[in-house]
Amino acid sequence: MRPLHAEWTKLRTLPSTWWLLAATVILTVAVGAAAAASLTSRVCPSPEACHEDTVKLSLTGVWLGQAACLILGALSMGAEYGSGTIRTTVTAMPVRWRVLLSKATALSLLTAGAGVVATLLSLWTAGLILPTNGFESPSLTDGPTLRAAAGSVLVLTLVAVLGLSAATLLRDSAGAITVGLGLLYVVPLLANVLPSPTWQQRVQRWFPMPAGLSVQATKNLARLPIGPWPGLGVLAAYAVGLLAVGAVLFRARDV
């Protein structure tokens, strides 16, 4: 418990932590609201004609909010390397895997809390907007909607862990953020310009995004490149796998 308490204290006293958590909520809700408001009669004459996945649309903001989570994860480790306080940390707590596990646990708890707030507010806001255009409000009593909401919280949490993992590997906040943003945004964009549909589908299936975001889909699941839970599993494999590699290197290095 001592390492966890120490890492919790460090994380919550970082000036950037609360700004980034607030940014996660604000970006997620604002983009989701804008997406829901885009379903006007001009774009979609009727729900029957449109067949829009309104739940996924309401949670569109997770796509942008995850950037703040990635940055938070990277700073939770990278800031210590940048300031040199990582030496004090490993001197006070020599069992390094416990240090990293405590960082990941504290980070996950904070990010998950912000993710719950962001997801619930996104669905609530969309529930106010969608009926004005003839669509039903998303309801958490519906199984697919609940899965999409819970999955969105997990996406944000895993992306934060991904940022932590990258910073542990690279020992640099800027490098970790650059690599992480590339995985989240650049790779999916490049997939769209690949000449081969087969390779486009492979990228969509085996890279963290958009595989992870497939958990938000509630309609036309058979058409997805990868199923909702397997897609989330791909993102989890990246986050946890890189964290495990980072733990090995963290133990092997001088610092």
DSSP structure class, residue 214: G
Between CA 208 and CA 236 the distance in angstroms is: 8
Counting every residue written for the chain, the total comes to 255
Q: pLDDT tens across 139-188, in order?
A: 999 999 999 999 999 999 999 999 999 999 999 999 999 999 999 999 88
Confidence check: pLDDT of 247 > 70: yes
Q: How far apart are the first and last CA of the chain?
A: 22
Cβ-defined contacts of 44-51 (< 8 Å, 24+) = 44/133, 46/134, 47/134, 47/135, 47/136, 51/219, 51/220
Q: Where are the domains of the chain?
A: 2-252
Per-residue pLDDT of 20-71, as tens digits, reads 999 999 999 999 999 999 876 555 655 555 678 899 999 999 999 999 999 9
Calculate the average pLDDT of the chain. 91
pLDDT for 47: 58
